[in-house]
Structure 1
Amino acid sequence: MDNEIDVPLFFLCPISLEIMKDPVTVSTSITYDRESIETWLFSGKNKSCSVTKQQLSSSDFFDLTPNHTLHRLIQ
């Protein structure tokens, strides 16, 4: 018997490919795990959404909206 659980893809962070612990949404409407997107943005090398490649303004870096619905679904 296989004990693996099928995890929906939208539970996975597009950067880390891990199940999100603290999902947040950026201005492009893409949801990431907070730690992954903060590392992505604050490393200084990336100024765009990793999925859409759309440029993010510096105010977008601080406008990470918690995705409470997804967080509840993952729990």
Structure 2
Amino acid sequence: MSEPLVVQALGKRCPLPVIMLAKLAAGQPAGTRIEVLADDPAAAVDIPAWCRMRGHTFVATEADRHTVELR
């Protein structure tokens, strides 16, 4: 497995972490992992919700690191 792509959204407030995630995810192949570094508490809710709406897999949250796998 290759290294995940990273969205650096620390210090950004809702909705910017999800917007940045969506922009990076566009055009990426299935199986791509993306880690979103976000310290906005809303990201812990918004990122899994974005995954559900887009059909991607929300893998995990560890502190301010949210991991997504594209489908």
Is TM > 0.5 for Structure 1 vs Structure 2? no
Judging by fraction of residues, say which structure has more strand: 2
**TM-score for the superposition, normalised by structure 2:** 0.31
Greater Rg, structure 1 or structure 2?
1
**TM-score for the superposition, normalised by structure 1:** 0.30
